[in-house]
Structure 1
Amino acid sequence: MDFSLPALLFWLKKLLAAAILPPLLPLLPVVVGLLLLRRHPRLGRALAWGGIALNLLLTLPASVGWLAKQLEDPQPLSIEAATAAQAIVVLGAGRRDYAPEYGGETLNRLALERVRYGARLARTTGLPLLVSGGGLAGETAEAVLMKSALEEDFGLSVRWAEVGSRDTRENALFSAQILRDADVRHVLLVTHAMHMPRAQAAFEAAGMIVTPAPTGWLADHGEPSGEHFLPGQLPNANSAYTGWFAVHEAIGRLAYRLSQ
């Protein structure tokens, strides 16, 4: 295991994120409230019921959908806006460690959504591809898995693979260095719509000109139809995941603002 300072800080950030994100986020006030019931029954009940209410808000499709809409830009990339770009940058989003059908490990579904859209853009525009994503000590870098998927499954060539980054800010810093060396300044940036504002800000801070190329919207930006109220409007796995993603991005944006 890597015990360097950057690795330790990375794991500290991961542990802190686990504590302030769902599902632990709403569970903590419930646990604290139950512990306080005997000595401070009114406060204990308020905390416990508050945690339950927060859990519902972060899993109900209506409330989660509203939150996601505040964080996502509903506009997709237009081909006209892509004409000035010099390259396509696709950001990693995670891996599946157990994938015996692929010989060991592969990309998770989020990364595949980004890779698929990056492949479509590469075919449409003819622009070269850069994939960005590192890994912990002993792991295959995400960019290596992305490059393999694009070349073997999509039949495309990947010109650059940035393999050292551990988060969005490092995606931007390390990718920008590679691109500057190739005299590339203007990129189409591929990531999820909810992640795009944070990623775009990081790449622009690293000196890149960015045209957003979002994919994977988690909110429905159309007019609600009112159809299929049940069971679609009850808490479910998809809305719980969207709630987690939305809180993750909201906290990430706050952290970026505080660190500037």
Structure 2
Amino acid sequence: MSAWLATNLIAAVLLPPLLLVLLLTAGLIFHRRRPRLAMSLIILSTTALYTLATPWMGGLLLRTLEISRPIGVTDIQKAEAIVVLGGGRRIASAEYGGDTLNGISLERLRYAARLHRSSGLPILVTGGKPGGGTLTEGRIMQQVLLSEYGIACHWVEDAALTTWDNARLSAQHLKPKQIQRIVLVTHAWHLRRALPLFEAQGLSVAPAGIQFSSARIDSILDCLPTPAGLRDSTFALHEWLGILWYKLRSFLSESNP
């Protein structure tokens, strides 16, 4: 079993919806021997599922991760390159006849193309093959930029399996060219985890987040559970879990030089 697979299996167990399913299952198993415990687990899991599945809670949790506003013209003018983080692929996509980018990666790439056209800054795309497949995220992003936007990448990093890899391996491409100031394109909820990792590589980072969230309740529908609400809550909790994991790994590294 690869380290990437093991990490994602652990994360799946610690995050909804699987965590809530496990709690509910435990409640059903103990309902005869420990009725009070069983009822507590059932109420906890169902209440948590309902709450986390509401768009309001999903937006609220995503907002806790946002550390910047949309990037300004001044920040772009000071930068020397644009770095785009891959956000995943669709492996063996039937309609494309092979691996292609998922929606998250395409959203990031589209915004990077917009920033490039307004600034002329060179683009670095980064992403490997987490989970297998044929083509890396980096190579697919390079192809999409060229074929659909008419933009040629200056650098392609295609070995990264994690956000930490994205930062470390991207820096290896940029530093030989004396590039220190970058625009980092990713989702707004991903910047809290990604930005410090790039800064740790000695880079000056201007965050260019996309899809900033809302925590407002605009209608009753925001308080009703939806698949999109649960997805957003899971994204947010996954990011906080990743942040804690990186902090723990950093602490262990410092404790065992």
Letter in 2 for 1:150: L
Check conservation: 2:92, 2:133, Cα contact below 8 A: no
Whether 1:189 aligns to 2:184 is yes
Judging changes above 3 Å, is the alpha-carbon distance between structure 1 residues 73 and 23 closer, same or farther for their aligned structure 2 residues?
A: same
Root mean square deviation, CA, Å? 1.6
1:68-217 to structure 2, matched below 5 A, reads 68-73=62-67, 75-136=69-130, 139-217=134-212
Letter in 1 for 2:226: N
Q: TM-score if structure 2 supplies the norm length?
A: 0.92
Match of 2:253 in 1: none
Match of 1:12 in 2: 6
Cα deviation for residue 56 of structure 1 reads: 1.4
Match of 1:33 in 2: 27
Q: TM-score if structure 1 supplies the norm length?
A: 0.91
Tell me: higher relative CO, structure 1 or 2? Use CA pairs within 8 A at least 6 residues apart.
2
Identical columns (%)? 39
Whole-Å separation in 2 of the counterparts to 1:19 and 1:126: 44
Cα deviation for residue 102 of structure 1 reads: 2.8
Gaps of 5+ in 2: 251-257
Match of 1:42 among 36, 53, 68: 36
Letter in 1 for 2:206: T
Deviations 1:143-162 (A, max 9, x none): 00101111100110101000
- Other structure's SS at 1:249 match: helix
Check conservation: 2:56, 2:222, Cα contact below 8 A: no
Check conservation: 2:80, 2:180, Cα contact below 8 A: yes
Whole-Å separation in 2 of the counterparts to 1:11 and 1:130: 26
Report how many aligned residue pairs link the two structures.
Answer: 249
Deviations 1:38-94 (A, max 9, x none): 111111110111111111121112222222221223510001111111100000001
Judging changes above 3 Å, is the alpha-carbon distance between structure 1 residues 25 and 200 closer, same or farther for their aligned structure 2 residues?
A: same
- Other structure's SS at 1:119 match: helix
Cα deviation for residue 27 of structure 1 reads: 1.3
Gaps of 5+ in 1: none
- Other structure's SS at 2:69 match: coil
Whether 1:246 aligns to 2:240 is no
